[in-house]
Structure 1
Amino acid sequence: MVPSLSSISSRLRFRQLSLLIALEECGSLHKAADRMGLTQPGLTKALREIELTFGTELFVRTPKGVHPNELGLCIIRYARLIDADLGHLREEIDGVLRGGGGRVAVGSITGALHSVLIGALSELRRLQPALSIDVRENISIELLNQVNEGRLDLAICRTTVSSQAEQFDYEPLLDEAVAVAVGPQHALANARRVTLAQLGKSRWILYPGNMPLRQLLEREFLEAGLPLPPYPIETASSLATMLLLKEDPQAVALMAAATMDFCEEHQIARRLPLQIRSRHEAYGIVTRRGARLSPAAGMLVQCLRAAAQAQRASA
């Protein structure tokens, strides 16, 4: 039987939520007890009390440690959300008492980092200097997970990569153009005309198979009647891609146009005169469905909208 809301709220304590998070992260009663400042018997007793509150076991005990079952994972996800909200509450209280400030955690895919986020953050810092900002770069699916767990207030990414897109609110920001990049020493770096077939034997740097840029490139090769180049280097790291392009005279990569602009400005890579016909997905501002943003996060959203509008105006 599912326990009533009044039963859960009257019996569950914030420290017990921290205990559940510690158990998942440590995977061991002994290590979690050390983190929480408890004895192992004390932690075992506390876990039993939590499981009595929910009327079922939340962790599977094995000789190698403990790991959450399906219900345990569900409850831990909400524990993280509550824990994150409490952290944000503390930051906002501190900001109010000091007459300003606050905290915002934002994640971004690489292309949005170059095109809108950095400019938006500069404006945010100008408007609110006494503000703590946590910036994380990652692929869309990882950013969505962090938004869902409360680790991020918002992200600039795509929701189409998720099988549970309905869990998020999405506000489109910009369409994303793409470019084909080669290292400065590549044989085609200064060519005036390049075809996809000419790049078939180059050493491609590809995003992992479930990412939109990889899928776009696969469509491009398929429509041209060409096989996808064999033996690629696969990475979602923009830094690794840039370093490989700069060092490898045969390297080729598909990247967001805004990232390409950065690479050309700093002479990391060259843009090839090759039109990618397949349409790339837009990206936007993603938050937890129905979540109420903090004043700092709301201010960042306004700055992102302004940065996107400026990009569209200059295009």
Structure 2
Amino acid sequence: MRPIDLLNGRLKLRHLVLVVAIADHGSVLRAARHLRLAQPAVTRSLREVEDVLGVELFTRGPRGVTPTLFGEAFVEHARAVLAELRRAGERIAELADARVGTVTIGTLLAGSNVLLPRAIAALKRDRPGITVIVREATFDIQAPRLLDGELDMILGRLNPIDDLRGLRQITLYSEPVRLVARRDHPARSRGGLALRDLLDYPWVLPLEQTALRQELEQVFRDEGLPPPTDLVECTSILTVRTLVRDTDMIAALPELVAVTDGEIAPLPVPLEPVRRHVGVTLPDGRPLTPSARVMLDHLRREAAALTGEAALSGRSGR
């Protein structure tokens, strides 16, 4: 198959928008509604794209459409092109008025619940014209979006990026992970409480593919104990906190979370090897927009303030 010339004018920007919309919505009809177009117009434009490429991009089924192998490849590149065009528009707007713009942050489900709100609040006080978009997902979903330009940065617990080219990381702070339970949890009445005793209660743990889950399971192995079997797997920080507050469940949470909720508190069972390194993952070969640079500056300042507060709290608790 000879290379296809997509710069000869036949492929239009609207074609890219349309194909991405169909992939996102899984249906020509839903894509048409999203784009506020008539369904026949969307169907006709899709045929135009497929004629230009000479391949079928979607297979039609009773419940919608599914991208073919060619469709998945084209959608990936279409997203990247649209993201770069959005960034170009934002860059021009920001250069014209340095106090407006947009920064899009990917945040991990179990991370940055203290740092991010504080940094956003500081940013909005400083630059009220900047719009902040926050998108939550796991790192394996966020990383491709960052590489494609849909995200400016990923904030949360740092994940290994050895197998991902084009990314770099900045550590903002480090904190211990603590075992927590509600303040009137029955385990608190036990003398000499140890990790073994906590296996008598239900647990809520991160998903198996997360780094924190692997580290926690290693703690159990080091103690010669099996991991909890009565458990819920969850990475939603809001759900975890609610389960811990309302039941006998035990969870492992970052210290900043554990000490800022009045209804839960750390248990006197150490997890010495387990720490959370919080930072940002950035595109290595793409400069940050002015808005993203301002956001990063605020994240650094708020992280330094959190580190100082944690040190002061530690000294006063001795």
The CA distance in 1 between the partners of 2:77 and 2:188, in whole Å, is: 51
Compute the TM-score of the two structures, normalised by the length of structure 1. Answer: 0.85
1:3 is aligned to 3
Instruction: Report the aligned-residue RMSD.
Output: 2.8
Tell whether the 8 Å contact from 1:60 to 1:69 is kept in structure 2 after alignment: yes
Tell whether the 8 Å contact from 2:15 to 2:49 is kept in structure 1 after alignment: yes
1:284 is aligned to 279
1:83 is aligned to 82
Change (3 A) 1:258 1:289: same
Aligned counterparts, 1:69-148, within 5 A: 69-91=68-90, 100-109=99-108, 112-148=111-147
The CA distance in 2 between the partners of 1:165 and 1:159, in whole Å, is: 13
Q: For 1:261-283, what per-residue CA distance to the aligned partner results, in whole angstroms no more than 9, with x for missing partners? A: 222xxx12011121113344523
Structure 1: unaligned runs, 5 residues or longer: none
Q: How many Å apart are 1:88 and its aligned residue?
A: 4.3
- Between the aligned residues of both structures, percent identity stands at 28
1:232 is aligned to 231
Equivalent residue pairs, number: 310
The CA distance in 1 between the partners of 2:287 and 2:137, in whole Å, is: 23
Q: 258, 267, 270: which one pairs with 1:272?
A: 267
Change (3 A) 1:88 1:17: same
Q: 300, 303, 315: which one pairs with 2:298?
A: 303
2:258 is aligned to 260
Change (3 A) 1:172 1:184: same
1:56 is aligned to 55
Partner-residue secondary structure (3-state), 1:49: helix
Q: For 1:165-207, what per-residue CA distance to the aligned partner results, in whole angstroms no more than 9, with x for missing partners? A: 2243322322342000011221133667421001011110111
Q: How many Å apart are 1:295 and its aligned residue?
A: 0.6
The CA distance in 1 between the partners of 2:170 and 2:117, in whole Å, is: 18
- Amino acid across the alignment from 1:270: A
Change (3 A) 1:120 1:202: same
The CA distance in 1 between the partners of 2:12 and 2:298, in whole Å, is: 37
1:179 is aligned to 178
Q: How many Å apart are 1:63 and its aligned residue?
A: 4.2
- Amino acid across the alignment from 2:271: I
Change (3 A) 1:236 1:295: same
Tell whether the 8 Å contact from 1:157 to 1:285 is kept in structure 2 after alignment: yes
Tell whether the 8 Å contact from 1:147 to 1:288 is kept in structure 2 after alignment: yes
- Amino acid across the alignment from 2:279: G
Structure 2: unaligned runs, 5 residues or longer: 312-318
2:316 is aligned to none
- Amino acid across the alignment from 1:252: I
The CA distance in 2 between the partners of 1:2 and 1:177, in whole Å, is: 56
Residue 151 of structure 2 is aligned to residue 156 of structure 1: no
Partner-residue secondary structure (3-state), 2:251: strand
- Amino acid across the alignment from 1:300: M
Change (3 A) 1:152 1:169: same
1:216 is aligned to 215
Question: Which has the higher mean CA deviation after the structures are superposed, 144-153 or 69-78?
Answer: 144-153
Change (3 A) 1:63 1:121: closer
- Amino acid across the alignment from 2:251: A
2:66 is aligned to 67
Change (3 A) 1:121 1:168: same
Partner-residue secondary structure (3-state), 2:259: helix
Question: Which has the higher mean CA deviation after the structures are superposed, 100-109 or 132-141?
Answer: 132-141
Q: How many Å apart are 1:64 and its aligned residue?
A: 3.7
2:165 is aligned to 166
Partner-residue secondary structure (3-state), 2:252: strand
